[in-house]
Amino acid sequence: MFDAPKLSLKGRVSRERFESWIAPELGLIEAAIDRALASAGLKAEAIDRVFLTGGSSLVPAVRRLFTDRFDLGRTGSGAELHSIASGLALVGHEPDLDPWRADD
């Protein structure tokens, strides 16, 4: 259920259906992992630890992208929602915010 002043939604969505909705984004995340490894000149096996954070890391399909690639034993997480807020607060202290602005 989602309830906001001007919008209220209630319903059930299967995991399979939800994952079909986010399939394009999952592909983009997987491509970003590939680019990061290639840019570093590393294979997944060379990575000792992967730390997942942010709300999206709580989505099982997102988490699976990393655990499949880097193994469950090398994948950890924590402070999923607090870390983003803390990071944004640090960005807010930067004297130049232009590098953080979205391209429209």
Confidence of residue 3 (pLDDT cuts 50, 70, 90): confident
Alpha-carbon Rg for the chain in angstroms: 17
pLDDT at residue 24 in the model: 97
Q: What is the average pLDDT score of the chain?
A: 90
Is the pLDDT at 5 greater than 60? The verdict is yes
Euclidean distance between CA atoms 76 and 10, whole angstroms? 32
Tokens read off for 15: 């995991």
Q: What is the reported pLDDT for 80?
A: 82
Which single residue is written with the structure tokens 């299967």? 14
For 87-103, write each residue's pLDDT tens digit. 888 888 889 988 888 77
Please report, for residues 54, 80, 92, the alpha-carbon distance to residue 77 in angstroms, rounded to integers and kept in the order given. Answer: 9, 7, 24
Give the chain's length.
104
CB 44 within 8 A of CB 69: yes
For the question of whether the overall pTM of this predicted structure is more than 0.85, the answer is no
Domain edges within the chain: 13-94
